[in-house]
Structure 1
Amino acid sequence: MSATAETKTAPAAGPVAVQGMRKNGKQWHQPKTAFRPTAGLTPYARRAEERKALAAVKAKEKEMKDEKEAERQRRIEAIRTKRAAKAEHERYQLMEEKMHKKRVERLKRREKRNKMLKS
């Protein structure tokens, strides 16, 4: 029984590098490594590739933002035209209450002709 208990309690991980106490007493800090000034340098070709990839990502983001803005503007324009049509309809309703129906129809046709000439 003691043999099986020892195998169960033994850690499954490999050997862990044990280090002694730090000289300055700050054990909670990460251990320092040697200073290597050329470690972070990358070749020009790799930097150019990274720049190209970043530019492609930015272009895609801009395209997506433009599409979203165009959809938003389309919705706003639809709301504006709907409101304008509703206001015009209400205006004609008020005119019909005051004037004869045929005269209102004649005014409508005349206004449509004027709109066509203006645009």
Structure 2
Amino acid sequence: MSTTTEIPVTAAPSIGSRKNGKNWHGTKKAFRPNAGLTSYAKRQELRKHQDAVKELEREMKAEHEAERQARIQRIKDRREAKEEKLRYEKMAEKMHHKRVERLKRREKRNKLLNS
């Protein structure tokens, strides 16, 4: 007792045999030389859109780079201030605090004049 389940077979619509008999070749589509051509106005519109996108990308990259540089500068400033503070603390160990304050003011003046 064997029961066979029949599977409905849906065949692709048959095109028929090729006229030249080369059934192993794929079917070709009609040659349409004007299919890919677009009007000049349409190409200009597309180019304008692409230019706008590129400009936006450039602006975004520049903004990102500016933020990155600002972050780097903040880190450098913080390190510099920390080193300067340590240097003044070491000076304060050796000499009087009033003299250290006087040197600080003098260095700050020189820094402002030189920059």
Q: What's the TM-score once normalised by structure 1's chain length? A: 0.77
Higher helix proportion (structure 1 or 2): 1
CA RMSD across the alignment: 2.6
TM-aligned CA deviation for residue 97 of structure 1? 1.2
Give the number of equivalent residue pairs. 108
C-alpha change, 1:20 and 1:109, in structure 2 (3 Å) is same
Secondary structure of 2:32's counterpart equals: coil
Identity in percent: 60
How far the C-alpha of 1:52 sits from its partner, in A, is 0.3
Which residue of 1 is the match for residue 59 of structure 2?
63
Relative distance call for 1:21 and 1:65 in structure 2 (3 A) is farther
Off by >6 Å, runs of 4+ in structure 1:
none
Q: Which runs of 5+ in 2 are unaligned?
A: 1-7
Q: Aligned pair 1:25/2:24, yes or no?
A: yes
Amino acid at match of 2:41: A
Secondary structure at the aligned position of 1:63 is classed as helix
Report whether the alignment pairs 1:117 with 2:113: yes
Q: Which runs of 5+ in 1 are unaligned?
A: 1-8
Assess, with a 3 A threshold, how the Cα gap between structure 1 residues 75 and 21 changes in structure 2: closer, same or farther: farther
